[in-house]
Amino acid sequence: MLYPMTFKPILKKIIWGGSDICPFKGITPVQEGIGESWELSHVEGNYSVVDNGALEGKTLDELIRTYGKQLLGEKVVEQFGSIFPLLIKFIDARDNLSIQVHPDDELAKKRHNSFGKTEMWYVINAAKGAGLYSGFSKQINADEYVKRVEDNTIMDVLQRYEVNPGDVFFLPAGRVHAIGAGCFIAEIQQTSNITYRIYDYDRKGPDGKGRELHTELAKDAIDYTLYPDYRTHYKAHTNATVELAACKYFTTNLLDVDTIMVRDFSELDSFVVYICMEGKASIRDNKGNEIYIHQGQTVLIPADTDVVTISPVPGAKFMETYIG
């Protein structure tokens, strides 16, 4: 019988990584230079491993092969096949990340036989003055883009946002973006590892050379549409389901709870993921399984679950994500 599952975090030591992920997740001793924690991953070579209950030690891949639609949902399997379609991460940037873009499904399929990458960011914490880039600040076309990459002026036409905890950015495939130094972020994305690097601040790698840029590949992947605002605006409410993003790849809600909340998923036909952003709570399903989770943990609720009851310590905050 399937039950709510937590997974061992896959910690990634990266040159730009900081020191916030371990304390946030309650991991000791604190490791320095951890740039990412992959909370739930079906990326080959980085399969998440269950760390609670009867299925402890099983990989997400084994679960999908054994339980398929029971775990993922019938509609999800029809849409994405036998892969877990989302990658959930925490990102701690001590330094600026490169400016990048991801291809959409069509281009990724043609070039890499892969899904594209649409994603979203939720800012957990930010140093004073920290910011990120999303979209363009003025209208440009593909030719101007190439020219600006060549003469190092691409940053002049990118839209920068100073950020605060709770800020949300939805990043459809094709949107140019980058996380800036001092940002601590939760990221929900399609399961895809395809990134085109546009600009890297002329930084040199350990070999003294600049990192490879994918100027030509990115040129056709970029959406050059200019929007007045690239932020997601939402009104926070306690003990309510507040929608942050909804697209064909995922729906994400914010749950800020200080009293018992019952969620009915009997009509959903999808797994549900809870990312605990603050506080702690117990989550109980309609089969009688109960799990206690705290800040920094991610829980997978199988698709064959009809109802979950969240009993928080007042002030618990979750992101809730599913397909549909």
- In a structure prediction context, what are the per-residue pLDDT tens digits for the chain, which is 324 residues long? 999 999 999 999 998 999 999 999 999 999 999 999 999 999 999 999 999 999 999 999 999 999 999 999 999 999 999 999 999 999 999 999 999 999 999 999 999 999 999 999 999 999 999 999 999 999 999 999 999 999 999 999 999 999 999 999 999 999 999 999 999 999 999 999 899 999 998 887 777 787 889 999 999 999 999 999 999 999 999 999 999 999 999 999 999 999 999 999 999 999 999 999 999 999 999 999 999 999 999 999 999 999 999 999 988 999 999 998
Q: Which CATH architecture has domain 238-320?
A: Sandwich (2.60)
CB 287 within 8 A of CB 3: yes
> What pTM value is reported for the model?
0.95
Q: In 3-state terms, what secondary structure has residue 107? A: helix
Looking at residue 273, its pLDDT comes to 98
Q: Does the annotation list 119 as a binding residue?
A: yes
Looking at residue 165, its pLDDT comes to 97
Question: Tokens 């030509």 correspond to what residue?
Answer: 216
Looking at residue 204, its pLDDT comes to 76
203 is catalytic: no
Answer CATH for 3-219 from 3.10.20.440, 2.40.10.10, 3.50.50.60, 2.60.120.10: 2.60.120.10
Catalytic residue (choose from 94, 197, 263, 284): 197
**Integer Cα distance of 224 and 138 in angstroms:** 10
3-state secondary structure 198-261: EECCCCECCCCCECCCCHHHHHHHCCCCCCCCCCECCCCCECCEEEEEECCCCEEEEEEECCCE
* Rounded alpha-carbon distances, angstroms, from residue 124 to 21, 60, 245: 11, 26, 16
Q: Where are the alpha helices (DSSP H) in the chain?
A: 21-25, 60-67, 69-72, 74-80, 105-112, 142-150, 215-221
Q: Tell me if 3-219 shares its fold with 238-320.
A: yes
Q: In 3-state terms, what secondary structure has residue 275? A: strand
Rounding to the nearest 10 degrees, give the CA dihedral for residues 139, 143, 147, 152. 40
Looking at residue 209, its pLDDT comes to 80
Q: So where are the chain's domains?
A: 3-219, 238-320
Query: Closest Cα partner for 5 from 57, 46, 66?
Result: 57
Q: Does the annotation list 177 as a binding residue?
A: yes
